[in-house]
């Protein structure tokens, strides 16, 4: 870990986390730290539990063992209301946007604003317009989710995640299923937003281009050993990781290292 990273403030810390569905252990003994302002990538092969990891971080799944700390405060042991407070400081974009289909894009953004912040109708509308502009969707306020494309739904999902000015933004597979240009634009938007809004961003993805473009820290979940494969800057991992399997993953299999 570089010196610069150590100076940064700790934001999320995961200690000895075990994730399980019933008696089936998905991942065990996970330990990692996310620092403030990081764009943190959770990567791994399909089905290794990346999305489940994210679901644990935002409290949708209970850990079988271990703890998750936000700014040193335990999320797992927190009371129900304490948890709610912590979750409200997180914005989440789900894989396909998960926009509420009976509401327009603006209404999707306004709902959290009206529920959890004391804005007047006019102010909330104005903020919704602004958030949608940030993700490049100005003028689409009155569209319904069924009327826009998949990429736009993802961006609208980001706008909704940003509604309450979260401290942490979680993005589940932001660039999956998009054409290369849209994917790149979305990645650039994520970078812009994370640097301008001073948020910590946690991204679940296995798109290599995204990983190298936006990530400055990462964990690799190893599906074979069912635990943490490696942690660090993805570019560094690609070039210097001791585990050949991970180097291979990050080079799209061009390094045929597993047989070595």
What residues make contact with other proteins under the rule CB under 8 A? 101-102, 119-120, 123, 126-127, 129-131, 133-134, 136-140, 144-146, 165, 189, 192-193, 195-198
Longest dimension (CA), the chain: 64
Q: Which is nearer to other proteins, 4 or 146 (CB)?
A: 146
Q: Which is nearer to other proteins, 79 or 196 (CB)?
A: 196
**Using the 8-state DSSP alphabet, how is residue 22 labeled?**
T
Antiparallel, parallel or unpaired: β 168-172 and 90-93 = parallel
The minimum distance between CB 97 and other proteins, in angstroms, equals 12
Point out which residues pair with 32 in neighbouring strands: 14
The minimum distance between CB 239 and other proteins, in angstroms, equals 31
The minimum distance between CB 161 and other proteins, in angstroms, equals 13
Q: Which is nearer to other proteins, 26 or 152 (CB)?
A: 152
Cα–Cα distance measured from residue 126 to residue 116, given in angstroms and rounded to the nearest whole number: 16
The minimum distance between CB 183 and other proteins, in angstroms, equals 16
E strand or H helix that includes residue 160:
helix 150-161
Give the chain's length: 260
Strand, helix or coil at 34? strand
Q: Which is nearer to other proteins, 50 or 131 (CB)?
A: 131
Cα–Cα distance measured from residue 166 to residue 197, given in angstroms and rounded to the nearest whole number: 9
The minimum distance between CB 36 and other proteins, in angstroms, equals 14
Point out which residues pair with 44 in neighbouring strands: 221
Q: Which is nearer to other proteins, 70 or 140 (CB)?
A: 140
């Amino acid at each position: 870990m570089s010196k610069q990273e150590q100076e940064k403030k700790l934001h999320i810390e995961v200690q000895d986390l075990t994730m399980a569905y019933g008696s089936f252990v998905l991942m065990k003994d996970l330990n990692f730290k996310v620092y403030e302002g990081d764009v943190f990538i959770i990567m791994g092969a399909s089905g290794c539990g990346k999305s489940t990891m994210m679901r644990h971080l935002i409290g949708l799944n209970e850990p079988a063992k271990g703890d998750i700390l936000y700014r040193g405060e335990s999320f797992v042991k927190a009371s129900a209301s304490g948890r709610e407070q912590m979750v409200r400081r997180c914005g989440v974009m789900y894989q396909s946007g998960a926009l509420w289909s009976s509401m327009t894009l603006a209404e999707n953004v306004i709902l959290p604003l009206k529920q959890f912040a004391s804005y007047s109708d006019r102010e909330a509308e104005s903020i919704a317009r602004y958030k949608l502009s940030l993700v490049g969707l100005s003028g689409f306020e009155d569209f319904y989710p069924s009327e826009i494309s998949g990429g736009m739904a993802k961006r609208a999902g980001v706008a909704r995640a940003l509604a309450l000015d979260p401290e942490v933004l979680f993005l589940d597979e932001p660039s999956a299923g998009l054409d290369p240009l849209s994917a790149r634009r979305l990645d650039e938007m994520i970078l812009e937003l994370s640097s301008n809004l001073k948020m910590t961003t946690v991204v679940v993805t296995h798109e290599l281009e995204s990983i190298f473009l936006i990530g400055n820290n990462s964990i690799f979940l190893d599906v074979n050993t069912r635990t943490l494969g490696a942690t660090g800057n993805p570019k560094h991992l690609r070039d210097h990781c001791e585990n050949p399997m991970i180097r291979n993953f990050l080079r799209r299999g061009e390094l045929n290292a597993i047989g070595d």
